[in-house]
Amino acid sequence: GAVVSQHPSRVICKSGTSVKIECRSLDFQATTMFWYRQFPKQSLMLMATSNEGSKATYEQGVEKDKFLINHASLTLSTLTVTSAHPEDSSFYICSARASGTDRSPLHFGNGTRLTVT
């Protein structure tokens, strides 16, 4: 079945540094990928929609200059948390649907747990 791979699974970084998270669709192409964030005991919140070859679309309240998204190919989207602070500590999850299959399920990565010290 369709697989979305996310890397790294967990990362600890110091305040002020930047962290890049990769999301790959392993056996399908995805023109669109979605990035979510989940705080402890809460539900997933959509951060942005990543579009291959164009700019990402950010949800209200999500700083585009802080959360840089690059979708350079049909199988890879990256989320860079710039100048991370402790409040950015969260579980980041990407998802994708195979291109041309609007009715098919979304496939999710296993998430990246970011801890900013």
Partner 1 sequence: DAKTTQPNSMESNEEEPVHLPCNHSTISGTDYIHWYRQLPSQGPEYVIHGLTSNVNNRMASLAIAEDRKSSTLILHRATLRDAAVYYCILRDVPGNTPLVFGKGTRLSVIA
Between 20 and 91, name the residue whose CB sits nearer to partner 1. Answer: 91
Closest CA to 109 of 37, 15, 31, 18: 37
| Residue 69: Cβ within 10 Å count | 24
Cβ of residue 57: shortest distance to partner 1, in angstroms?
A: 10
Residue 28 structure tokens: 């399908």
22: amino acid identity, one letter:
E
Taking a C-beta distance cutoff of 8 angstroms, is the pair 73, 58 a contact?
A: no
Rounded distance between C-alpha atoms, residue 92 and residue 19, angstroms: 12
Rounded distance between C-alpha atoms, residue 99 and residue 65, angstroms: 27
Cβ of residue 83: shortest distance to partner 1, in angstroms?
A: 26
Region 27-86 residues binding partner 1, contact defined as CB under 8 A: 31-32, 34, 36, 43-46, 49
5: contact with partner 1 by CB under 8 A: no
DSSP character for 1?
A: -
Binding mask 83-102 for partner 1 (x = CB under 8 A): --------x-x-x-x----x
108: contact with partner 1 by CB under 8 A: yes
By the criterion CB under 8 A, which residues form the site for partner 1? 4, 6, 31-32, 34, 36, 43-46, 49, 91, 93, 95, 97, 102-103, 105-111, 113
